Structure 1
Amino acid sequence: MPTEIELLRSLDDEPPAPSTVDIDRAIRSGRRRNRRRGLGYAGVAALTALAVTGVAVANARTTKTPARPVATAKPSVKPKPAYTIPGTPGWSVTAAIAPTSCTLEHLPVPAKEPMALVSAGDPTGQYLVGRTYPKGGGYQAVIWHAGTVRKVMLPGDSEESLRGVNSSGAAVGWSYTDDGQQLPFAYVNGKVLKLPGVKAGSAEAINDAGAIAGSDLTAGDPGSHAVVWPSATGQPIRLPVPAGVKASTADDIDEDGTTVGNLDLKTPYVWFADGTHHALTLPTYQGKKAPSARVFSIRNGVATGVADESESKDGRDGKLWAVKWNVRTGEATVSDRFDMSSDAINAQGWEVGIDKKGYAILYADGRAVPLPMLADHKPGNLTNIANSISDDGRTIGGQSDDAKDVIQAVVWHCK
């Protein structure tokens, strides 16, 4: 039977053809039901498979065990710098006071489309990106700014998603073209640009310097390769990996150019702007060292993700730890604040995610602030998911289910 991290691996990459479901939410739904009903991993696998066959669901991650700090990373590769990743060296963060309450706003959608979600936001909270689900079917990439929504016309009608946006409103994402090819795109100054240098790929994040993190999928599964585009028109930088790695991804990029991603869907990795790179520490808790881990995001030198506690023989006890890495010092810390890995982190180190009772929260300076729902739901039903948080903590973007269990794009205003 597979462990939880193995299920994440099997569902992590975009499928070779457009999917009809937001995979992460399907995984989370199955895992929650598993916990409540006391099922083993066969139950999770079956529920996940059921979700993937026909339910429209949305973004998330994973864990459920206590926590404490742990080890220090030991760089495994120190090459001579052969490249630099664009960023803003020495950028500073303005200190903010942690919010204590949040209110909910339902975001507008084009043509009263029935379903929508927010997938990312910029550091200032001015821009949010995501997608809607038009009445006639399919997907529509959108960007929100100053209370208005605009369609972003990515080529192809099969599937599309915007995955990141910076403080200038430049956004990145991908779409499947009519011939089934997944292509990476940028939306800059109102224009859609195909990212150069790859025949297939994905774009996941963009920093304020305009550098874009993503993957070259030209070789096909499992031959993806982590790349960074220095700009929307620049040729991609192929990020180096240790010998023997079959697949790599670049999943997020910090303001100074530091990029994080994963090797073979089991080893968290960091590439620095000066060309050095190494694996992130696999954390240890109560004498147990995680055999594998995943990193999802980075902000102000702190990366977040999830680690697998063990690979149990029967697949029933595979527990996951939420992890934070200080990529500058190498320290890895296990956290018990979230049921899964937090879903977003800001420059203050504040995080948003699902707590162990199944509710969406903002966790800032030792305080958990609940995020209101559009409609009252029992915990564990994936009613709220927050996918972005501004650096001042005042703006959180995500989704909330309405009274009919339909996903709606929302923003939380916090103070």
Structure 2
Amino acid sequence: MTGRAAAYGEPCVREQLAVPAGTHRAGVYDSDPTGRFQVGYTMDQDFAYHLIRWADGVPEDLGTARTGATGINAHGDIVGSEFDPETYRSAGWLYRNGEFTELPSIEPGFDSRPTAVSEDGTVSGASGAPGQRPVPVVWTPAGDARPLDLPPGDSGGRGTDIDDNGTVVGWTSAGPDTSTHAARWSPDGTVERLPEHRPGPETGSTAEAVRGGTVLGYEVYATGSTPILRWRDGAAGPDVLGEGTPQAVNGHGSVVVRTTPDTKLWLIQNGVTRSLPTDSTPYPTGEVVALTDGDIAYGRWNSTPVRWDCRLP
């Protein structure tokens, strides 16, 4: 794997998360950087989905009305969205202090799709007319929607993640028939396209996650190749971490990736590469959705919510 450290360490230890009695299947959507809170779902014996929040490993059932969570912060605040098949609209929401509130769209009748929430309650995401390319948006801690600026010539985009200092990452594009390009918005709203490894007219890219200034994403070529990229502060360009799918990054710059074609999960940590055990099959049986600053990864193994303990001795 290009860019993988030469040294290999011991595999991380996989552990199952507790789930409520009667759970048929379950999964994790996100963890906060401290590892205290996780958000996910369970399916009961009647095949109804429930929103679940774990606090210090203990699951709490938050009901069946809102289950499309996408992010959680260190206070246990949750964001997500639900699709309305009658209006064909995605409606964003925030769960805080035991209550669900709406995250408004930038115009009446538009979608609102939050993706992540920072420690102070600022939310990243996108909003736009149903069926059309959205624009990147942040919601203030008070719940007000504010469109983010776009690079010259671009007309849409999405904020995919937000750092606790207010930095947003995601992608922008000139239109629905053009490639996306990884972008970063500083806390003051200034936008920049992130440098691509192999820029060109048939190259697209997106930034998927940010933590502590380290950005994780990927590039796409017309050949179908998808190198995983890591942008670090002060570097002239991105590191290439092999082919596959970016998974998560933490505040120390450790990253989790899923490589292809072997569909294996790897942690790159302090110059050492470690595996996150899953099944040995040609198909992905594991997924990581978050990596805490304490080097514990959260995700799923088959239909089971798990964590991989990757802490160093």
Q: Measure, in 1, the Cα distance between the counterparts of 2:225 and 2:89.
A: 36
Deviation at 1:101, TM superposition (A): 4.8
**Unaligned 5+ runs, structure 2:** 174-178
**Unaligned 5+ runs, structure 1:** 1-64, 69-98, 312-316, 402-406
Structure 1 residues 154, 194: CA separation in 2 closer, same or farther (over 3 Å shift)? farther
Deviation at 1:174, TM superposition (A): 1.1
Alignment check: 8 A CA contact 2:245 2:259 kept: no
> Equivalent residue for 2:300?
399
Deviation at 1:355, TM superposition (A): 3.7
- 1:132 is aligned, of 39, 42, 58, to 42
Alignment check: 8 A CA contact 1:124 1:167 kept: yes
Q: Percent identity?
A: 24
Deviations 1:327-370 (A, max 9, x none): 5655322222xx41320000111111224532222221222222
Q: Measure, in 1, the Cα distance between the counterparts of 2:211 and 2:125.
A: 16
Q: Measure, in 1, the Cα distance between the counterparts of 2:233 and 2:40.
A: 28
**Are 1:206 and 2:107 matched, yes or no?**
no
> Equivalent residue for 2:59?
149
Deviations 1:225-247 (A, max 9, x none): 1110111x331111011354343
Structure 1 residues 223, 360: CA separation in 2 closer, same or farther (over 3 Å shift)? closer
Q: Measure, in 2, the Cα distance between the counterparts of 1:372 and 1:292.
A: 31
> Equivalent residue for 1:115?
25
> Equivalent residue for 2:68?
161
- 1:410 is aligned, of 300, 306, 310, to 306
Give 1:246-257 correspondences, 5 Å limit: 246-257=155-166
Amino acid at match of 2:158: T
Greater per-residue strand proportion = 2
Deviation at 1:109, TM superposition (A): 2.5
Counting matched residue pairs gives 298
Deviation at 1:290, TM superposition (A): 6.7
Give 1:292-331 correspondences, 5 Å limit: 292-308=204-220, 310-311=221-222, 317-326=223-232, 331=237
What is the TM-score of this pair, normalised by structure 1? 0.66
> Equivalent residue for 2:176?
none
Q: Measure, in 2, the Cα distance between the counterparts of 1:118 and 1:388.
A: 9
Deviation at 1:302, TM superposition (A): 1.3
Q: Measure, in 2, the Cα distance between the counterparts of 1:174 and 1:216.
A: 11
**Are 1:181 and 2:103 matched, yes or no?**
no
Deviation at 1:140, TM superposition (A): 2.5
What is the TM-score of this pair, normalised by structure 2? 0.85
Q: Measure, in 2, the Cα distance between the counterparts of 1:202 and 1:139.
A: 20
Structure 1 residues 146, 359: CA separation in 2 closer, same or farther (over 3 Å shift)? same
Structure 1 residues 353, 242: CA separation in 2 closer, same or farther (over 3 Å shift)? closer
Q: Measure, in 2, the Cα distance between the counterparts of 1:330 and 1:278.
A: 14
Structure 1 residues 354, 275: CA separation in 2 closer, same or farther (over 3 Å shift)? closer
Q: Measure, in 2, the Cα distance between the counterparts of 1:328 and 1:253.
A: 19
Deviation at 1:262, TM superposition (A): 1.0
Structure 1 residues 245, 119: CA separation in 2 closer, same or farther (over 3 Å shift)? same
Higher relative CO (Cα under 8 Å, sequence separation at least 6) belongs to: 1
Deviation at 1:102, TM superposition (A): 2.8
Amino acid at match of 1:321: P
Alignment check: 8 A CA contact 2:151 2:191 kept: no
Deviation at 1:134, TM superposition (A): 3.2
